[in-house]
Amino acid sequence: MHQAHVTNFDEWRATARNLLSMEIAPEQVHWDAGAQISLWAEAEDAVVGDSAPSSPCASRRTKPQLRVPAQFISLARAASCFIDAKVPAEKWSLLYSLLWRLVRYDRRTLSLTTDPQVQCLNRMARAVSRDCHKMKAFVRFQRVCTRGTPANSDAFFTAWFEPDHAIVERVAPFFAKRFAGMSWSILTPYGCAHWNQRVLSLSTGVPRPPAVSDEYELFWQTYYCHIFNPARLKEQAMQSEMPKKYWRYLPESVCIKPLASGAAASTQQMLDADRTDPLRVRSRSSRVREAQDTLRAQNRQ
Amino acid sequence: MIDSDVLLKKLAILADAAKYDASCASSGAERRDSSATGGIGSTSGGMGICHSYAPDGRCISLLKILLTNFCLYECAYCVNRTSSNVARARFSIDEVVTLTMEFYKRNYIEGLFLSSGIIRSADYTMEQVVAVARKLRLEHRFAGYIHLKTIPEASPELLAEAGLYADRLSINVELPSEKSLNALAPEKNARSIDRSMQNLELGIREYKESKREARKQGNRKLTLPKFSPSGQSTQMIVGADAADDATILQRANGLYKRYRLKRVYYSAFSPIPDASSQLPLKPPPLMREHRLYQADWLLRFYGFSLDELTYRPESREQTGMLALDQDPKLAWALAHRELFPVDLNRADYETILRVPGIGVINARRLVKQRRIRALRFADLQRLRLPIQKVKSFVTVIDHKPTSHQLDNDQLAARFASSVDKQLSLF
């Protein structure tokens, strides 16, 4: 039995190449996952897994050219961010099994869309991609008021988020490109990303959110309350796209309950209210009447 | 310095004024970001991002507001019509710019969707709307998404400038027929709406073609100035006039074909505060709106034609309305049982797309899989297709629906009741 200890995609790739060149079947490898580490912070330390077979063995034979579909690499990269607390190393063994099948048996393996392993890979990659998408959507920056800062020049923004998977490194460049002209930190329990308008850096996670308040939260809540149409209440539709677990990041979530519970009454009020005479203003204001008549005359031409 | 209390009041009024416009999309934008300019903002390319959802289940992607809700027009269905008693307000250009930038920096939004009531003249109003976009793009190096509602009567020069800053321009056709428009929105002009949509289409097409040509020749200078790179869209109100679904879909189909719209939004006519005595008010026909969207999808992505959509499955006859208790694809299939079951191992992709319960993604998966190995019933289960629905309509190696299953008169009733249960969720 071979032991392979990996903590990120590049380590897995190096280890898997090695194992494959020695023709070691997936059943003969025991994968073991350490805490997911970042390549940025630990680039120098990124080594092939501890107990992975050493290279002399591999160098005895000529390494076969490893060619796998590009689609596999991009799916595998995504799946490598997947966190399953119960079976943390399952993703690495799954990736190796699929790699084995792709290289040794059938390059079309990924087209077996109902194959359990292929489905599992796709599901992991989809979960990670969904997590990234939700993070892009639901991260909320708060402006940190540094004393004596005029207007916006030195404003600094911070956000707290708890992704399901190890995606901070994967998503951080998106924020750097989007908020290029602003300094910010995104803090999560599994790692933090920082942008100072020049470089993106990562650091270890922090356990809890910073205590910050931001005056624009009131503006956002006001907007949220007034863009809602009570006659169309569909709480289930809202929750399927914005599950409750994200609400704690969203300043607008305090508005949801009162809006939903008042919706029926305010709709009924609209239905019961008196109707307004369409001539109400027209009959009083000659300016309005003339303007409307001019337009109406043009339409009849 | 901005007066917070006043601005909060204006924001409340002008968001209330904007909420009946269904569109809030930021999808399909040309990819760009701020890494080169050091400004703020990016577009996310294919899929838009919904930063929040209102309790009405609608995506909140953009700051959707009116510049002002003062309006000279008397459109009976509109909360902002001249005769309405609602509170009125007007943002300054700077106020909209500030709100957009500050909301964006906090990652509340993907960008701005700006519309306006018509004040003074079409050109005057459009000039104000364009000024907001100009300021965001040029002074603040804002690279987020901008959607501008276009006033059809405004001058072509203003539309051209709007197209320079906006990702998407839109003009609402509002009602499916000119007759309804004349009756309910007497100041709106169906011909100028058509003419402006045509102008937008031309501008968008010329810009896209110049981009293609520039790429082909490797000469960026050949690209024309930007013009609404995410195309144009429109909205039709459903249930304010007597138009049936067939009329609405026909109008939509014509717009897709003639002006290559990215989207037609259907907006169920909703009770509004201070409604006009011209219109009877009812709760919004949400299911009808939903069915129209489904039918719209069938037209655009499933190869259905207009005359295949409005069937009553029981009578197997066409009516002008979509069935409310069944989705339009199922209704069509129940009215055409002679075409089923479909053999998933042999049928072409287009035929598989017509099976109730199989969408574009799963149709592709099935075709991909069967190239390697024939499909079995377990494959359908693994793809998590809605088995109860699908199994009556398909054949695979180890599954054939019995012929009486398809002939059974109860078939329609079985589906109808299951759909009904789901309906009550809304």
| Partner residue opposite A113 with nearest CB, options B81, B85, B369 | B369
Q: What is the DSSP string of B3-58?
A: -HHHHHHHHHHHHHTTTT------TTPPP--STTT--B----SSS----EE-TTS-
Strand A142-144 vs strand A156-160: parallel, antiparallel, or unpaired?
A: antiparallel
For position B426, what pLDDT does the model report?
A: 31
10 Å CB burial of residue B419 (0-12, 13-18, 19+) is: middle
CB-based contact B277 A275, cutoff 8 Å: yes
The verdict on B98 touching A (C-beta cutoff 8 Å) is no
CB-based contact A238 B34, cutoff 8 Å: no
Q: Which of A223, A233, A267 to substitute to test the interface with B, most B CBs within 10 Å? A: A223
The stretch B74-80 carries a mean pLDDT of: 95
CB-based contact B15 A223, cutoff 8 Å: yes
| Lowest-confidence segment of A73-82, A149-158, B115-124, B266-275 by average pLDDT | A149-158
Sign of the torsion angle spanned by Cα atoms A140, A146, A152, A156: negative
Phi first, then psi, for residue B140 (nearest 5°) are -105, 5
The backbone region for B239, taken as left when phi is positive above 0, alpha when psi lies in -120 to 50, beta otherwise, is left
Tell me if B82 sits within 8 A of B73, measured CB to CB: yes
Q: Which of B16, B56, B375 to substitute to test the interface with A, most A CBs within 10 Å? A: B56
* Residue where the block lists tokens 């250009």: B93
C-alpha–C-alpha distance, residues B339 and B394, integer Å: 10
- In chain A, the residue whose alpha carbon lies closest to the alpha carbon of B370 is A112
Helix (H) or strand (E) holding A295: helix A286-300
pLDDT digits (tens, 9 = 90+) for B176-207: 999 999 999 999 999 999 999 999 999 999 99
| Residue from B103, B95, B104, B136 nearest B2 by CA | B95
Tell me if B252 sits within 8 A of A247, measured CB to CB: no
User: Chain A contacts of B42, Cβ < 8 Å?
Assistant: 174, 177-178
How many pairs of residues across A and B have Cβ atoms under 8 Å apart? 235
For position B47, what pLDDT does the model report?
A: 84
Q: Which of B8, B106, B345 to substitute to test the interface with A, most A CBs within 10 Å? A: B106
For position B307, what pLDDT does the model report?
A: 86
CB-based contact B49 A229, cutoff 8 Å: no
| Lowest-confidence segment of A143-152, A186-195, B15-24, B142-151 by average pLDDT | A143-152
Q: Which of B108, B179, B188, B424 to substitute to test the interface with A, most A CBs within 10 Å? A: B108
Q: Which of A105, A138, A157, A295 to substitute to test the interface with B, most B CBs within 10 Å? A: A295
* Residue where the block lists tokens 């299939």: B333
For residue B30, the distance in angstroms to the closest alpha carbon of chain A comes to 14
For position B261, what pLDDT does the model report?
A: 95
Given a cut of 50, is residue A24 above it in pLDDT? yes
- In chain A, the residue whose alpha carbon lies closest to the alpha carbon of B77 is A278
CB-based contact A228 B55, cutoff 8 Å: yes
**Between A90-100 and A70-79, two packed helices, what is the crossing angle to 10 degrees?**
170
Given a cut of 90, is residue B107 above it in pLDDT? yes
For position A41, what pLDDT does the model report?
A: 46
The verdict on B366 touching A (C-beta cutoff 8 Å) is yes
For residue B273, the distance in angstroms to the closest alpha carbon of chain A comes to 5
Q: Within its chain, how far is the Cα of B406 from the centroid?
A: 35
| Partner residue opposite B15 with nearest CB, options A218, A226, A263 | A226
Q: Name B124's Cβ contacts closer than 8 Å, sequence gap at least 6.
A: none
* Residue where the block lists tokens 């006519």: B269
* Residue where the block lists tokens 């596999």: A72
**What's the CA dihedral at A91, A94, A96, A102 to 10 degrees?**
-130
For position B292, what pLDDT does the model report?
A: 96
CB-based contact B40 A225, cutoff 8 Å: no
C-alpha–C-alpha distance, residues B216 and B193, integer Å: 35
The two three-digit tokens of residue A253, written as one number: 């979530």
For position A97, what pLDDT does the model report?
A: 97
Given a cut of 80, is residue B154 above it in pLDDT? yes
The two three-digit tokens of residue B158, written as one number: 């203003």
Residue B22 CA: distances (Å) to CA of A109, A232, B125? 43, 12, 22
Share of chain A above pLDDT 70, in %: 87
The two three-digit tokens of residue A259, written as one number: 């809006």
The stretch A11-32 carries a mean pLDDT of: 93
For position B29, what pLDDT does the model report?
A: 87
C-alpha–C-alpha distance, residues A49 and A6, integer Å: 5
C-alpha–C-alpha distance, residues B200 and B223, integer Å: 17
For position B207, what pLDDT does the model report?
A: 96
User: Chain A contacts of B39, Cβ < 8 Å?
Assistant: 180-181
Q: Within its chain, how far is the Cα of A108 from the centroid?
A: 29
Strand B145-149 vs strand B168-170: parallel, antiparallel, or unpaired?
A: parallel
| Residue from A3, A98, A159, A242 nearest B105 by CA | A159
Q: Which of B49, B52, B74, B75 to substitute to test the interface with A, most A CBs within 10 Å? A: B52
User: Chain A contacts of B273, Cβ < 8 Å?
Assistant: 270, 273
| Partner residue opposite A223 with nearest CB, options B11, B50, B141 | B11
Surface of B (374-413) touching A: CB under 8 A = 375, 378-379, 382-383
pLDDT digits (tens, 9 = 90+) for A170-212: 999 999 999 999 999 999 998 999 999 999 999 999 988 888 8
pLDDT digits (tens, 9 = 90+) for B20-75: 998 888 888 889 999 999 999 999 877 889 999 999 999 999 999 999 999 999 99
Surface of B (190-219) touching A: CB under 8 A = none
Residue B293 CA: distances (Å) to CA of A211, B262, B300? 44, 13, 11
Of B273 and A35, the structure prediction assigns the larger pLDDT to B273
Strand B59-60 vs strand B62-66: parallel, antiparallel, or unpaired?
A: unpaired
Q: Name B217's Cβ contacts closer than 8 Å, sequence gap at least 6.
A: none
Given a cut of 70, is residue A58 above it in pLDDT? no
Residue A177 CA: distances (Å) to CA of A94, B33, B35, B424? 33, 6, 5, 44
Give pairs for A39-45: CB < 8 Å, separation 24+: A39/A8, A39/A10, A39/A169, A40/A169, A40/A201, A40/A202, A41/A202, A41/A203, A41/A204
User: Chain B contacts of A235, Cβ < 8 Å?
Assistant: 55, 57
For residue B361, the distance in angstroms to the closest alpha carbon of chain A comes to 11
Query: For B81, how many CA atoms within 13 A lie in the half-sphere containing its CB?
Result: 28
The two three-digit tokens of residue B82, written as one number: 């001249």
CB-based contact A234 B55, cutoff 8 Å: yes
**Between B410-423 and B328-335, two packed helices, what is the crossing angle to 10 degrees?**
170
For position A178, what pLDDT does the model report?
A: 97
* Residue where the block lists tokens 């249960």: B421
For residue B327, the distance in angstroms to the closest alpha carbon of chain A comes to 18
| Partner residue opposite B270 with nearest CB, options A231, A250, A252 | A231
CB-based contact A176 B107, cutoff 8 Å: no
Instruction: Report ipTM (2 d.p.).
Output: 0.93
Of B419 and B109, the structure prediction assigns the larger pLDDT to B109
The two three-digit tokens of residue B250, written as one number: 């026909």
The verdict on B106 touching A (C-beta cutoff 8 Å) is yes
pLDDT band at A264 (very low <50, low <70, confident <90, very high): very high
C-alpha–C-alpha distance, residues B360 and B409, integer Å: 29
The two three-digit tokens of residue B151, written as one number: 């006033």
**What's the CA dihedral at B32, B196, B15, B9 to 10 degrees?**
100
Neighbours of A133 (CB within 10 A): 15
CB-based contact A224 B52, cutoff 8 Å: yes
For position A53, what pLDDT does the model report?
A: 41
Given a cut of 80, is residue A36 above it in pLDDT? no
User: Chain B contacts of A123, Cβ < 8 Å?
Assistant: none
C-alpha–C-alpha distance, residues B197 and B187, integer Å: 18
User: Chain B contacts of A252, Cβ < 8 Å?
Assistant: 52
Residue at A111: amino acid letter: S
